[in-house]
C-alpha cells in the first residue's frame, strides 16, 4: 500500500468501522448498532456507534473520529512537540458481553499528524477475561501473532511486552487481563514503510471481529450463575479503574476537548467495588487473580 493522505486514512478507517459493525451484528444475531454523529467545536468530529438489544453483547461501542485544530499545550508539553496544528483519526472499540464467560475486548487503531511533518501510528488489541482460560488466551495470542508476523517478525514479541506494561493497573499490582499487543508512535521513514504500517493497522482491525466472534460463539454457551455474575461486576470495576486512571487514550481525548460521551463509551453498564474482597482458595476466581501478571508466555501456556 502506498502512502496515503490524512484525509484518505480517515476514509479508510471509517470504512473499517462499517465492516466491524456489520460483522459484530452478524455474530450477535439480534443486536444492532445505533449511530450518533457529532462535531468537535475546535475542529472535526466523528461517528459513535453503540450496540443495543444484543443476545450476547450487553453493551458495546465502535467509534470513529477525525479531529483537528491547534494542538493543546498540555499535549505539546507532554509529548515534547513543537507548536503546530494536529490531525488525529482512528477507530476505537470496547465490548462488554452479558455472560461472564465471554471476555471483554478492546481494540484501537489511530493515526496522528501535525502540520510540521510529525506523524505516527498507534494501536493495539487486548483481551480482558472475567475468567482466565489458558486455551482461550493461547488462541487469542496465536491469532494476534499471525497478523504481526505478516509484517515484521519482531512485532509480536515487542508489542506483547509493551501491552503487558501498558495494560497494567499499577495501584492494584495486576494486569487488566491477558494482554495482547500495544504500539505507539510508529513513524515511517519512507512511503513504503508508511504503507506497511497502515496495512498492519488494518489487518489488526480485520482480525478483531474474527477472533472475538470465535469467543462470542463458543463462550456464550458456557453455563454460569450469580457467583459468576458477581465476579464479572468486580472485574468490570477493575476495567473502569484502568480506563479512568491510566488509559492514555482517555486522557488524550479529554485533553483535546473531545466528546465526553464518546470517550467514556468504554464504561461497562454495571460494575461493583467490594471492600477487601478475597477470592476463595482453589476457585476459578483465584486462578484468574493469580494469572493477572506481566510476562506470561500465553503461546506456550498449558
Judged against a pLDDT cut of 90, whether residue 223 lies above it is answered with: yes
Mean pLDDT in the chain?
Answer: 94
Q: Is residue 230 part of a domain?
A: yes
Query: What is the rounded distance in angstroms from the CA atom of residue 72 to the CA atom of residue 147?
Result: 35
Using CA atoms, how far apart are residues 230 and 235, in angstroms rounded to an integer? 9
User: Per the domain annotation, does 223 fall within a domain?
Assistant: yes
Higher-pLDDT residue of 153 and 42 is 153
Going by pLDDT thresholds of 50, 70 and 90, the confidence category of residue 14 is very high
pLDDT at 175 over 90: yes
Sign of CA pseudo-dihedral 22, 17, 164, 295: positive
Question: Is residue 94, in this structure, part of any structural domain at all?
Answer: yes
Q: Decide if pLDDT at 79 tops 80.
A: no
pLDDT at residue 160, rounded to an integer: 98
Domain range enclosing 141: 6-300
> Is residue 236, in this structure, part of any structural domain at all?
yes
Residue 138 pLDDT more than 80? Answer: yes
Is-contact 140 127, C-beta < 8 A?
Answer: yes
Q: What's the structural domain count of the chain?
A: 1
Percent of the chain clearing pLDDT 70 (strictly above): 100
Report the catalytic residues.
Answer: 106
CATH number at residue 203: 3.40.1500.10
Mean pLDDT of 191-196: 94
Tell me the whole-structure pTM to 2 decimals: 0.94
Phi-psi region for residue 180, left (φ > 0), alpha (ψ -120 to 50) or beta? left
Q: Is the pLDDT of residue 245 over 80?
A: yes
pLDDT tier at 256 (50, 70, 90 boundaries)?
A: confident
Q: Please tell me the distance from the alpha carbon of residue 216 to that of residue 104, in angstroms, as a whole number.
A: 10
pLDDT in tens, 27-70: 999 999 999 999 999 899 999 999 999 999 999 999 999 999 99
Q: Does the residue 27 lie in any domain? A: yes
Residue 1 belongs to some domain of the structure: no
Of residues 82 and 271, which shows the higher confidence score? 271
Helix (H, G, I), strand (E, B) or coil at 115: coil
Band of residue 71 on the pLDDT scale cut at 50, 70, 90 = confident
Give the pLDDT score at 119.
92
Cα separation, 30 vs 20, whole angstroms: 16
Which stretch of 123-137, 174-188, 255-269 has the lowest confidence by average pLDDT? 255-269
Amino acid at each position: 500500500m502506498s502512502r496515503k493522505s490524512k484525509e484518505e486514512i480517515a476514509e479508510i478507517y471509517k470504512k473499517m468501522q462499517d465492516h466491524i459493525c456489520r460483522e459484530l451484528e452478524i455474530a450477535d444475531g439480534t443486536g444492532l448498532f445505533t449511530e450518533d454523529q457529532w462535531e468537535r467545536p475546535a475542529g472535526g468530529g466523528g461517528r459513535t456507534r453503540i450496540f443495543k438489544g444484543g443476545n450476547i453483547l450487553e453493551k458495546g461501542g465502535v467509534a470513529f473520529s477525525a479531529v483537528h485544530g491547534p494542538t493543546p499545550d498540555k499535549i505539546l508539553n507532554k509529548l515534547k512537540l513543537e507548536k503546530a496544528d494536529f490531525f488525529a483519526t482512528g477507530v476505537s472499540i470496547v465490548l462488554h458481553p452479558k455472560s461472564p464467560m465471554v471476555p471483554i475486548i478492546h481494540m484501537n487503531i489511530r493515526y496522528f499528524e501535525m502540520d510540521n511533518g510529525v506523524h505516527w501510528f498507534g494501536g493495539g488489541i487486548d483481551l480482558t477475561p472475567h475468567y482466565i482460560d489458558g486455551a482461550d488466551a493461547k488462541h487469542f495470542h496465536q491469532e494476534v501473532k499471525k497478523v504481526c508476523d505478516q509484517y515484521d517478525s519482531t512485532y509480536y514479541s515487542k508489542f506483547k511486552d509493551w501491552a503487558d506494561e501498558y495494560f497494567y493497573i499499577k495501584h492494584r499490582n495486576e494486569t487488566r487481563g491477558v494482554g495482547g499487543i500495544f504500539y505507539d508512535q510508529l513513524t515511517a521513514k519512507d512511503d513504503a514503510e508508511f504503507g506497511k504500517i497502515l496495512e498492519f493497522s488494518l489487518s489488526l482491525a480485520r482480525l478483531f471481529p474474527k477472533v472475538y466472534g470465535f469467543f462470542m460463539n463458543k463462550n456464550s454457551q458456557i453455563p454460569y450463575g450469580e457467583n459468576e455474575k458477581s465476579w464479572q461486576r468486580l472485574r468490570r470495576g477493575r476495567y473502569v479503574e484502568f480506563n479512568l486512571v491510566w488509559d492514555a487514550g482517555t486522557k488524550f481525548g479529554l485533553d483535546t476537548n473531545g466528546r465526553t460521551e464518546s470517550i467514556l463509551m468504554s464504561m461497562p453498564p454495571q460494575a461493583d467495588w467490594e471492600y477487601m474482597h478475597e477470592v476463595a482458595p482453589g476457585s476459578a476466581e483465584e486462578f484468574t487473580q493469580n494469572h493477572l501478571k506481566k510476562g506470561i508466555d500465553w503461546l506456550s501456556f498449558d
